[in-house]
Structure 1
Amino acid sequence: MGDDLGNDWWEQRDTTETSAGEEDREEDREEDREEDREEDREETKQPSDKAFPHGKKRKSGAENPRPAKKTALKSQEACFLALEKKEDEEEKKPKKRRKKKTITDVLALSEPKPGCPGDLQSLVLEHFKNQRSVIELEEMNLQNSCFLACNDLTHSLSSYLKEICPKWAKIQNKHTEKSSVVMLIVCSSALRVIEVIKQLTTFKGEAKVLKLFAKHIKVEEQVKLLQKSVTHIAVGTPGRLTDLIKREGLTLSALRFLVLDWNWRDQKLRRMVDVPEVKGDLMKLLDIGITKACREGKVKVGLF
């Protein structure tokens, strides 16, 4: 039987076995290559924990940006923080307010002008316009006939008083009424009152002069002084003069001359009417009877 198959059978068998073995080996190699590729993919995606024994895994390229970009972001954040800090500091800093001009600044740049009747007239109307009716304002309005000649800034006090009251010696001798005066001089402060009294030396003659202000002197004491003897000239501040008139310690029955220390300026270049408190007291003084006496022709007003 072996002889009948001949040599071709063996050759065919060997050929078949050889091709089958080659196919098996080829399949094994293909499987090995596929496994290698699979391992390479796994390693690329995520490194194993064994490569990092301390539990710290290296960040992938997506999670760990390039150092240059990170530095740029940090610098931008620093700039933004610096700008915000600067803005906060500027907000916290008190804003510089523009300095308002004071009355001293304004008066320092203006030339001194002598007072005139229109100045007092407009001042009275402006002060009482919101407090009085139209009819009352007309009654308070001082006519030009109520005023004496005004100081043109060339007179001393004595020379001015001699001009507006040339017959002073005769008027002085006729005055015998207590608690009243013939001439009332109104100043802005106690210090100015003392200065004015010193300047009266060449004018007053034998007349008695009394200082009436609130500094260190009680109003009751001044009432007693007025009642004690005849006083010809009183020099005082508007606030104290108003109190004395309201208390009837000083009457206006013998008053003939009201002189306002209008043009004098203090160290801050303020006149008597530039100080709100003094101006208010002056308006009260005029309102309690002097304005009425002026309109009746009993009292004349002079602006020194």
Structure 2
Amino acid sequence: MADDLGDDWWSEEPAGEEKAEAQVESLTENEVHSPLKAQGHRDRKKRPHQETKKQISQAKKDESHNAHPDGEPKKKKRRKKKKMSEHLADAALKPGTSEDLMALLHKQYQGKLSAIEMQELQLSDKSFLPSNSTSAPLSSYLKSCIPKWNNLVKKTKPVKPNACLLLLVTASAKRAVDLNRQGSEFKGQCVSAKLFAKHLKIQEQIKLLNKNGAHFAVGTPNRISALIQTDGVKVEETFYVILDWNWRDVKLRRMVDMPEVRQDLLELLRKHIIPATRNSEKLRIGLF
């Protein structure tokens, strides 16, 4: 059937285009902008949380301000740790005893040495001189402990090479010089030796000791150990080892309170002095 020329055929649109246009027109304004509104909804959810944090922070500041009328928060005081010198000042400054020395050796080597080696560090009371319980001066203490010193000096003149009849062990070169002077009344007319690093080089000390030993020798643990290891000093010829145990420096530290000196001292005792004491009835240890 032919088209009617009277119809407005040019105004008609295909059915597909009509459907697409209808779908676009059916979209509401809310549906078109829904993604943006959804994002805004999430933003609104975050805002109360952020505001809550600000409110809590402000509340804390208000509390702090109210607690301190001046507006300055009270600072927490840090507890200061006591220095070693303060601990030592608080402690009772009692003279050392042989029990103190044995306890220190046990504490130092417990778990590091075998049971047999720990047993070999033990000494009987016969191995010790009386301790300086009255804090007497050096000469007075030595005179009371070694009353036959002058006779020993006479019998041993000249002293055997590399022999030191009395070894006085202290913490430093300066202290060694002081002790050598303080002991002048006790030692009398005898051969003395200074065994520390600042006096002579170790090679020079070995040469001197090879020619002539000493009745009275004062030195530091490290240098005395080095001389014993190189046969500069034959500890089996020694009669007395005196430890400068009770002296304290300006910081109130004893020789055994100084880590580097304590280690050298305990190694000197463990490796040389205690074995020689156990093997000899004449060698005895004193704590000055």
Do Structure 1 and Structure 2 share a fold, with TM-score over 0.5? yes
1:298 maps to 2:279: no
Give the aligned residue type for 1:160: Y
String of CA shifts for 1:157-187, please: whole Å, max 9, x gaps: 0011111111111111222211111000000
Alignment equivalent of 1:255, drawn from 233, 238, 247: 238
2:192 pairs with 1:209: yes
Query: How many Å apart are 1:127 and its aligned residue?
Result: 1.0
Identity of aligned residues (%): 43
Contact 2:196/2:220, CA 8 A, preserved across alignment: yes
Match of 2:101 among 116, 120, 123: 120
Q: Which amino acid aligns with 1:303?
A: L
Q: Which has the larger radius of gyration?
A: 1
Counterpart-to-counterpart distance in 1, 2:199 and 2:188: 28
Q: Is it true that 1:199 corresponds to 2:182 in the alignment?
A: yes
Structure 1, 192-201 or 99-108: larger mean CA deviation: 99-108
* Distance across 1 between alignment mates of 2:111 and 2:155: 42
CA drift at 1:117: 0.8
Which residue identity does 1:273 align to in structure 2? V
- Structure 2 counterparts to residues 148-187 of structure 1, below 5 A: 148-175=129-156, 176-187=159-170
Distance 1:154 1:126, change over 3 A: closer
Q: Deviations over 1:107-148 (max 9, x none)?
A: 112231011110001111111112211111011112212111
- Residues in 1 aligned to 2:181 and 2:152: alpha-carbon distance in whole angstroms: 21
Q: Does 1:138 align with 2:122?
A: no
User: 2:95–2:135: 8 Å Cα contact kept in structure 1?
Assistant: no
Residue equivalent to 1:287: 270
Query: Is the deviation greater in 175-184 or in 99-108?
Result: 99-108
216 and 209 in structure 1: CA distance in 2 versus 1, 3 angstrom threshold: closer
> Which has the larger displacement, 207-216 or 193-202?
207-216
- Three-state SS of the structure 2 residue aligned to 1:295 is helix
Q: 2-side partners of 1:240 and 1:266: how far apart?
A: 20
Q: Give the CA RMSD over aligned residues.
A: 2.5
Please say which of residues 172-181 and 182-191 is displaced more in the overlay.
Answer: 172-181
Instruction: Report what 1:6 is aligned to.
Output: none
CA distance in 1, matches of 2:141, 2:173: 21
Aligned ranges for residues 1-304 of structure 1 at < 5 Å? Answer: 98-175=79-156, 176-215=159-198, 217-296=200-279, 297-304=281-288
Gaps of 5+ in 2: 1-50, 62-75
1:224–1:98 distance in 2 versus 1, CA, 3 Å = farther
Equivalenced residue count is 222
Quote how far apart the aligned CAs of 1:284 are. Answer: 1.0
Deviation at residue 97 of structure 1 after TM alignment: 5.8
Counterpart CA distance in 2 for 1:226 and 1:216 is 14
In structure 1, give the amino acid aligned to 2:184. Answer: T
**Aligned CA distance change for structure 1 residues 113 and 219 (closer, same or farther; 3 Å):** same
Superposition TM-score, scaled by structure 2 size: 0.71
The separation in 2 between residues aligned to 1:136 and 1:117, in whole angstroms, is 19
By how many angstroms is 1:224 displaced? 1.3
